[in-house]
């Protein structure tokens, strides 16, 4: 009997990569995204290669009520893997950014991620097995001037996930925080489009999306608590623990300003 996996933000980026990895392992998929046409493209591509069932749920996880829509569809079936991947960022001074976008971001990264995790985690602990991955970021390890709300929500995801990982020890369920750094996804373009900023031609190290996704996927399957792909990202995290807090804040602000002139 094939197992079932839910992936949010599955129409592109890491969500698409995780969907491919799950398909390779013969999981039936429940793919969730606001982008309905993008979901359909993913479904068609995966069905050409794998004999699995793929159900699509088009909904906006930044809105209240979306979690109930998802859970209604999966209430009657076991869920073996949940990957909370959906997310976006916003650049700019907090006094000038759009509150509606930030409120939606908090709903997406904090409230709805937490709600969906709770509903699925209860199912998993009742069964005695399951894997959950919450996609955080290297941004979770320090505050982020000019992306203040984004960095704060990613810090919530990391803290929440680490706590759950401890709580579920011995239940047969594991919870993993995946914390990638700069990766070749559509994230920077999304940040720029939402804030009206421009992405500089300056090239920071950009990790390969597929390689980073596989690292996170394997860490989740191994039951690791935190997965940080790439030696550079690991060094960055350790550096933030050593250098003075104000120096870290200044560095992050300069980096954001350089990326988006």
134-156: average pLDDT: 96
The structural domain count of the chain equals 1
2-26: average pLDDT: 97
Cα of 134 vs its chain's centroid, Å: 6
**Residue 201 pLDDT:** 44
- For the chain, what percent of residues have pLDDT higher than 90? 78
Q: Cα(first)–Cα(last) distance of the chain, in Å? A: 53
181-189: average pLDDT: 69
Q: At 226, which CATH number?
A: 3.40.50.720
**Residue 1 pLDDT:** 76
- Domain of residue 69 covers 4-259
User: In whole numbers, what is the pLDDT of the chain averaged over residues?
Assistant: 91
Secondary structure string (H, E, C) spanning the chain: CCCEEEEECCCCHHHHHHHHHHHHCCCEEEEEECCHHHHHHHHHHHHHHCCCCEEEEECCCCCCCHHHHHHHHHCCCCCCEEEECCCCCCCCCCCCCCHHHHHHHHHHHHHHHHHHHHHHHHHHHHHCCEEEEEECCHHHHCCCCCCHHHHHHHHHHHHHHHHHHHHCCCCCEEEEEECCCCECCCHHHHHHHHHCCCCCCCCCCCECHHHHHHHHHHHHHCCCCEECCCHHHHHHHHHHHHCCHHHHHHHHHHHHHHHCC
**32 neighbors 8 (Cβ within 8 angstroms):** yes
Instruction: In whole angstroms, give the CA distance from residue 21 to residue 248.
Output: 35
Query: Given a cut of 50, is residue 114 above it in pLDDT?
Result: yes
**Residue 84 pLDDT:** 98
Query: Given a cut of 80, is residue 14 above it in pLDDT?
Result: yes
**Residue 205 pLDDT:** 60
pLDDT tens digit sequence for 75-105: 999 999 999 999 999 999 999 999 999 999 9
**Residue 202 pLDDT:** 45
Q: For residue 228, what pLDDT band results from cuts at 50, 70 and 90?
A: very high
Query: Given a cut of 90, is residue 170 above it in pLDDT?
Result: yes
**Residue 198 pLDDT:** 58
Q: For residue 197, what pLDDT band results from cuts at 50, 70 and 90?
A: low
């Amino acid at each position: 009997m094939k197992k079932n996996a839910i992936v949010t933000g599955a129409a592109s980026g890491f969500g698409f990569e995780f969907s491919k990895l799950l398909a390779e392992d013969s999981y039936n998929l429940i793919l969730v995204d606001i982008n309905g046409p993008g979901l359909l493209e993913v479904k068609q591509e995966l069905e050409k290669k794998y004999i699995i069932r793929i159900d699509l749920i088009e909904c906006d996880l930044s809105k209240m009520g979306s979690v109930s829509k998802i859970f209604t569809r999966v209430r009657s079936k076991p869920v073996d893997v949940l990957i909370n991947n959906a997310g976006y960022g916003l650049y700019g001074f907090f006094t000038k950014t759009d509150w509606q976008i930030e409120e939606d971001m908090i709903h997406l990264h904090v409230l709805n991620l937490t709600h969906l995790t709770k509903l699925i985690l209860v199912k998993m602990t009742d069964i005695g097995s399951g894997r959950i991955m919450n996609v955080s970021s290297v941004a979770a390890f320090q505050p982020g001037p000019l992306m203040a709300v984004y960095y704060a929500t990613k810090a919530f995801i990391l803290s929440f996930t680490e706590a759950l990982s401890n709580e579920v020890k011995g239940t047969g369920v594991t919870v993993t925080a995946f914390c990638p750094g700069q990766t070749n996804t559509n994230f920077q373009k999304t940040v720029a489009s939402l804030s009206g900023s421009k992405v500089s031609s300056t090239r920071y190290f950009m990790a390969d999306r597929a390689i980073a996704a596989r690292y996170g996927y394997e860490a989740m399957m191994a039951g690791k608590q935190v997965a940080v792909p790439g030696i550079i990202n690991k060094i960055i995290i350790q550096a933030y623990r050593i250098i003075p807090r104000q120096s870290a804040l200044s560095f992050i602000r300069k980096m954001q300003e350089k990326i988006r002139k």
